[in-house]
Structure formats: C-alpha cells, structure tokens
Amino acid sequence: MITLSPPVSRFDHQFGFETAPVTLVEYGDFTDAASGEAYWTVKEVLRAFGSQLRFVFRSFPRMPERRIKRFDWLDFNRINAQVAAEAAEAANAQGQFWKMYAHLFSHQSQMSEDLLLQYAAILNLDTDRFEHELAEHVYAPRVELSYDSGIQSGVLKPPTFFINGVHYDDDFEGLGGAIEESLRLSQKSVTRHIQSMRQSVASGLYRRSGTK
C-alpha cells in the first residue's frame, strides 16, 4: 500500500477544516491538462462534501527547474510548470494561494509571464514584489520540496491523489465515490470508538459500585 510521506502539516496549502474526517491530497501540475481536468472534479467534491472534506494541494511540476536549467520547455509563449508553481507560492506569500490556484487552472490555455503579472494585479497583490520573487526564484526550494515529497510518496505523474494518507489509484472521476466510502469508514470508526468508551465507563462504574 502506497502512503503519503510526509503527512499533512501546517506548512501545506489546506482548504477546509483540520477536523474534517476526510483529507484529500493532490499532487498536481498547473500546466498539465489532466491536472486541469481534475481541478473541476476537486471543485465539485469540495462543494458536495463541504465541511466533511479537507483538500491539500502539493505542486508536482513535471520538470522542476533544477532539472530543466531555467528554459521554457513548453514553447516561447507559455511559462513552464516550475514557474507556474512558483507563482502560486509567491501569491501564497501575500495570502492569496487559493485564488491564484484557481486562476492558473481555470486559465491554463492563457498562461504567460505577462498574464501572471495581470493575475497578480487582479488579486491585488504587490506586483513589484511578485515579479521580483519570480525573477529571483525565491520559492523554487519550496516547490522542489513539494516535488520531492511526491517522489517519496511514489508519485509518478500528476495528478495523483491520496485519501486519508492512502494512494487513490483509480480515475479521478471516481473521487466522489471513494471519498464517500472513506467518510463512511471514518464514521464507523468513530462510532466504534464511542461505543468502546461507553463500555469502559460502564465497566468502571460497575466495578466502583461493587467495591462499596
């Protein structure tokens, strides 16, 4: 069984409550077509499960910058996966990760460095800071850590999902059903725990009453 490593922590990009019974983790690539399709599926399941589901996104650019030596591997007009991931991190530094995440995935066919600056302006970011941090690759180390955690977790390509720390190996269209099953098992586990506690309390009360 393939499991998530490292587990979700406060350093992750999290959407939803930490107390949610089900946590969905995605390793995705902002420039990858399949990850773009998965974005809409994730949006649907988040709407469907509400507070019962927490979502965590970890960047998994197909060709991290340290491996491509800073050239644009897509074409002259589009940015590469690494820069897109760094843009999301730069937005995160100004408290707007999830809005940039949504912009990048919903505008995959319109992604260039000039447009990234436009997105930053739309989100009311400090565009000078944003542009400087992208140019200096300030957040490249964080993106690489995310990528490396994917490798450590057995991720081969984006998008790859984990539900409550366990690798989900089916089509992402079936995420809703898998989350529902995980939620059912989680609720079952909670019910068993409550019953066990009640039995322990009842047993303790019985023993105490018997010693009088």
Report d(CA 12, CA 47) in Å as an integer.
21
* CA dihedral (120, 124, 125, 126) positive or negative: positive
Q: Residue 204: is its pLDDT beyond 90?
A: no
Greater pLDDT, 187 or 71 = 187
**Token pair in block for residue 43:** 């949006």
Tokens 């100004």 correspond to what residue? 94
Q: Residue 76: is its pLDDT beyond 70?
A: no
Residue 190: pLDDT band with limits 50, 70, 90: very low
Closest CA to 56 of 7, 103, 96, 93: 7
Q: Which amino acid is at 42?
A: V
Residue 124 lies inside a defined structural domain of this protein? yes
Residue 59 lies inside a defined structural domain of this protein? yes
Report d(CA 87, CA 186) in Å as an integer.
36
Instruction: Write down the mean pLDDT value for the chain.
Output: 86
Residue 8 lies inside a defined structural domain of this protein? no
Q: What is the per-residue pLDDT for 191? A: 45
Q: Residue 47: is its pLDDT beyond 50?
A: yes
How many domains is the chain built from?
1
Residues 6+ apart with CB under 8 A from 54: 14, 15, 16, 17, 18, 20, 22, 23, 24
Residue 113: pLDDT band with limits 50, 70, 90: confident
Residue 75: pLDDT band with limits 50, 70, 90: very low
- Going from the C-alpha of 156 to that of each of 21, 79, 150, 174, the distances in angstroms are 27, 22, 8, 19
Closest CA to 22 of 186, 175, 171, 169: 186
192: domain CATH number? 3.40.30.10
Residue 142 lies inside a defined structural domain of this protein? yes
Q: What is the per-residue pLDDT for 205? A: 55
24-41 pLDDT, tens digit per residue, is: 999 999 999 999 999 999
Q: Residue 74: is its pLDDT beyond 60?
A: no
Characterize 10-42 residue by residue with b for buried, 16 or more Cβ atoms within 10 angstroms of its Cβ, and e for exposed: eebbbebeeebbbbbbbbbbbbbeebbebbebb
| Percentage of the chain modeled with pLDDT above 70 | 80
Lowest mean pLDDT among 1-5, 64-68, 97-101, 174-178: 64-68
Residue 158 lies inside a defined structural domain of this protein? yes
147-183 pLDDT, tens digit per residue, is: 999 999 999 999 999 999 999 999 888 999 999 999 9
Residue 131 lies inside a defined structural domain of this protein? yes
**Token pair in block for residue 107:** 């505008």
Greater pLDDT, 22 or 204 = 22
Residue 3 lies inside a defined structural domain of this protein? no
Residue 7 lies inside a defined structural domain of this protein? no
Report d(CA 45, CA 43) in Å as an integer.
6
| Percentage of the chain modeled with pLDDT above 90 | 72
Q: Residue 197: is its pLDDT beyond 60?
A: no
Range(s) of the domain holding residue 183: 13-210
